[in-house]
């Protein structure tokens, strides 16, 4: 059913794009009601407008906290135009219908981003705006609700098409958007309070997100997908694409897997290579070129078509090396002009500048059919209070840094995980196996295939305990001389005996790093 708009209430904190809308409302003789800054702006632009307090006969109070919360406003929005009782009540009170509500909220998001003043933040929690929006959205059969300035053009087209009227299809679509906005707005406010009160797992959890991009498809071509931003700054990710095809679902999945590891490498130049969300090469070195080369040498076959992330700037020398290999994405903290020119010769290579990327979320979420799991991020690598060497042969303080590097990489490998390292670089990674022994065998097989000379005296890191001594025997036989693992198996004594028998160093961390 198409309904004529006679009266419109406009209350917007963001006045952008409003002029074309005002012109159209004037064209169809639609009365405009407004208050405060919006009223002044409309009058200044040369359009007629009735001030809200004059319309209701009630002056706004409490520094503007109460202005639209009035029966004349809400009855005008909520009454059913086909209900006789409603019509009689409205006639008796002499309340006209409000057929169009144009509202956007106080800039709570912006204030949270730019201020730490809790009083100012609380003052920017909008009450009247969301109340009007919910009322209009509920009564979409009779009222059009616009909550986004980008929808002004759609409203203008609607009014021109139907000569000052709106269609039921349009009003229902705007209603859907309106309830999405109020839910989003309230979720942000609830999230702010939870953060302020340090409540990580509230009784009711609402995850807010703004659609950032429609992706070509999901994990597979027959799946649909979109990317959402869950942050007060919901306009950018901190990832600046400089070249290449659009990023896919799988690209983003790999990019975030790479960034998780890269952020954990803080002291030296770090390189991470990801394939199917698993690392297939990680290295840190004072020399960026060696860091890159060592990471790539870990498993060059798996690196084919992968994602490479570097916590340093890419120069011309590195760019020439990168260009020789087929990659999907290269992430770095900047690119020299010469390097960028070389890399852009690869037409489809996605080149991403991560200089402004900052990790934000402190939780991780896995969604299922009708439920989701939420946990805080795994930020611990080693707890020095729990760490102990359980073998007769002990590592030196110098060796401990590399041992910790190996265990840290193991955090990000899909369980069951075994990581072999030498000189702060992975040389073999066994990932995602139901059997830890199989993970050991895969890590060794990878190391023998690409870096056989580095297996001798290497370090092995396991994300969880060894349930039997067979994994230890397999690693030692290959040349491993140091093993770091959580411990905690009923077979620990058997495992320790095997390590002592083989004269290898073994440390128990008391910290497990499952990554499913």
Q: Per-residue pLDDT tens for 92-117?
A: 888 899 999 999 888 888 898 888 88
Q: 216 lies in a domain?
A: no
Residue 113 DSSP one-character state:
H
pLDDT-derived band at 350, boundaries 50, 70, 90: very high
The answer on 171 and 73 residing in a single domain is yes
30 and 176, same domain (yes or no): yes
Residue closest to 395 by CA, chosen among 494, 503, 467: 503
Q: What was the pLDDT predicted at 66?
A: 74
**Is 365 part of any domain?**
no
Residues 406, 346 share a domain: no
Least confident of 157-161, 220-224, 252-256, 361-365: 361-365
Q: Are 189 and 244 members of one domain? A: no
SS (H, E, C) 351-417: EEECCCCCCCCCEEEEEECCEEEEEECCCCCCCCCCCEECCCCCCCHHHHHHHHHHHHHHHCCCCCC
Residue 313 three-state SS: coil
295 within 8 A of 425, measured Cβ to Cβ: yes
189 within some domain? yes
Task: Specify whether 259 is located in the same domain as 330.
Answer: yes
Q: In what order do the strands lie in the sheet with 480-485?
A: 388-389, 505-508, 480-485, 458-462, 418-421, 426-430
Does residue 326 share a domain with residue 259?
A: yes
Kind and range of the H or E run holding 482: strand 480-485
Domain range for 466 is 388-508
Q: Is residue 232 part of a domain?
A: no
CA distance 440 to 182: 52
**Cα–Cα distance, 317 to 94 (Å, whole number):** 79
Residue 370 within a domain? no
Do 290 and 415 lie in one domain? The reply is no
Cis peptide before 416 (omega within 30 of 0): yes
- In angstroms, the CA 275 to CA 119 distance is 47
Cα-to-chain-centroid distance, residue 482: 37
Q: Residue 62: its pLDDT value, please?
A: 78
Note whether 310 and 171 are same-domain residues. no
Indicate whether 37 belongs to any domain. yes
pLDDT tier, 504 (very low <50, low <70, confident <90, very high otherwise):
very high
Phi and psi for 344 in degrees, rounded to 5?
Answer: -70, -10
What is the β-pairing status of strands 100-103 and 144-146?
parallel
Distance CA 511, CA 486 (A): 5
> What is the predicted pLDDT for the residue at 92?
87
Q: Are residues 315 and 433 in the same domain?
A: no
Is 187 a member of any domain? yes
Q: In this structure, what CATH number is given to the domain that contains residue 311?
A: 3.40.140.20
Tokens coding 8:
């419109």
pLDDT score, position 127: 87
312-335, pLDDT tens digit by residue?
999 999 999 898 889 999 999 999
| Helical spans, DSSP H, in 94-167 | 108-114, 118-123, 128-138, 152-161
Domain-ending residue, one of 170, 196, 222: 196
267 Cβ contact list (under 8 Å, min separation 6): 284
Q: In this structure, are 259 and 180 located in the same domain?
A: no
146 falls within a domain: yes
Of 6-20, 68-82, 394-408, which range is least confident? Answer: 68-82
Q: What is the mean pLDDT of the chain?
A: 92
Closest-CA residue to 26 (of 39, 42, 3): 42
Average pLDDT over residues 386-396: 94
Beta carbons of 166 and 159 less than 8 angstroms apart: yes
Whether the per-residue pLDDT at 389 is higher than 80: the answer is: yes
47 with 26: CB under 8 angstroms? yes
Question: Structure tokens of 92?
Answer: 């008796």
Tokens at 181, concatenated? 């906005």
| pLDDT per residue as tens digits for the range 265-299 | 988 999 999 999 999 999 999 999 999 999 999 99
* 15-70 tens-digit pLDDT: 899 999 999 999 999 999 998 889 999 999 999 999 988 888 777 767 777 777 78
How many residues in the chain?
A: 516
In this model, does residue 166 exceed pLDDT 90?
A: yes
pLDDT band for position 361 (cuts 50, 70, 90): confident
Same domain, 63 and 159: yes
Catalytically active residues are: 138, 276
Distance between CA atoms of residues 240 and 199, nearest Å: 33
Total tally of structural domains belonging to the chain: 3
Residues 348 and 394 in one domain: no
| Residue where one domain finishes, among candidates 353, 377, 407 | 353
Residues 500, 505: Cα–Cα separation, whole Å: 8
């Amino acid at each position: 059913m198409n309904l004529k708009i006679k009266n419109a209430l406009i209350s917007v904190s963001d006045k952008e794009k409003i002029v074309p809308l005002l012109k159209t409302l004037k064209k169809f003789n639609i009365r405009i009601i407004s208050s405060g800054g919006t009223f002044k702006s409309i009058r200044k632009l040369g359009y007629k407008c009735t001030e809200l307090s004059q319309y209701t006969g009630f002056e706004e109070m409490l520094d503007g906290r109460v202005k639209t919360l009035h029966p004349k406003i809400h009855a005008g929005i909520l009454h059913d135009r086909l209900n006789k009782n409603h019509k009689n009540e409205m006639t008796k009170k002499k309340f006209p219908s409000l057929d169009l509500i144009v509202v956007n909220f106080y800039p709570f998001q912006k204030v949270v981003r730019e201020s730490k003043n809790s009083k100012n933040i609380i003052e920017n929690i909008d009450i009247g705006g969301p109340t009007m929006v919910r009322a209009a959205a509920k009564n979409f059969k009779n009222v059009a609700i616009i909550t986004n300035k980008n929808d002004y053009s759609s409203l203008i087209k609607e009014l021109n098409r139907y000569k000052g009227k709106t269609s039921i299809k349009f009003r229902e679509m705007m209603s859907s958007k309106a309830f999405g906005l109020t839910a989003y707005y309230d979720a942000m406010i609830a999230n702010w309070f939870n953060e302020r009160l340090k409540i990580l797992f509230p009784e009711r959890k609402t995850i807010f997100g703004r659609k950032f991009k429609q992706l070509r498809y999901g994990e597979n071509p027959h799946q649909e997908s979109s990317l959402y931003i869950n942050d007060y700054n919901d306009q950018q990710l901190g990832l600046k694409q400089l070249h290449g095809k659009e990023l896919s679902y799988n690209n983003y999945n790999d990019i975030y897997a790479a960034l998780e590891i890269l952020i954990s490498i803080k002291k030296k130049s770090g390189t991470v290579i990801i394939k199917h969300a698993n690392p297939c090469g990680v290295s840190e070195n004072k020399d960026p070129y060696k860091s890159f080369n060592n990471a790539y040498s870990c498993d060059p076959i798996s690196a084919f078509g992968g994602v490479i992330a570097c916590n340093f700037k890419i120069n011309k020398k590195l760019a020439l090396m990168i260009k020789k290999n087929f990659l999907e994405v290269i992430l770095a903290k900047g690119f020299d002009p010469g390097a960028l020119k070389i890399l852009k010769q690869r037409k489809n290579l996605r080149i991403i500048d991560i200089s402004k990327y900052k990790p934000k979320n402190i939780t991780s979420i896995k969604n299922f059919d009708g439920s989701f799991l939420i946990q805080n991020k795994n930020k611990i690598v080693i707890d020095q209070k729990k760490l102990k060497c359980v073998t007769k042969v002990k590592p030196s303080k110098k060796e401990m840094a590399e041992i910790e590097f190996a265990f840290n990489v193991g955090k990000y490998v899909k369980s069951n995980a075994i990581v072999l390292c030498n000189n702060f670089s992975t040389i073999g990674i066994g990932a995602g196996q139901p059997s830890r022994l199989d993970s050991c065998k895969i890590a060794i097989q990878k190391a023998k295939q690409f870096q056989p000379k580095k297996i001798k005296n290497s370090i092995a890191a396991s994300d969880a305990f060894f349930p039997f001594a067979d994994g230890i025997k397999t690693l030692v036989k290959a040349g491993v001389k140091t093993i770091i693992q959580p411990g905690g198996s009923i077979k620990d004594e058997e495992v320790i005996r095997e390590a002592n028998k083989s004269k290898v160093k073994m440390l128990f961390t008391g910290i497990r790093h499952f990554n499913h």
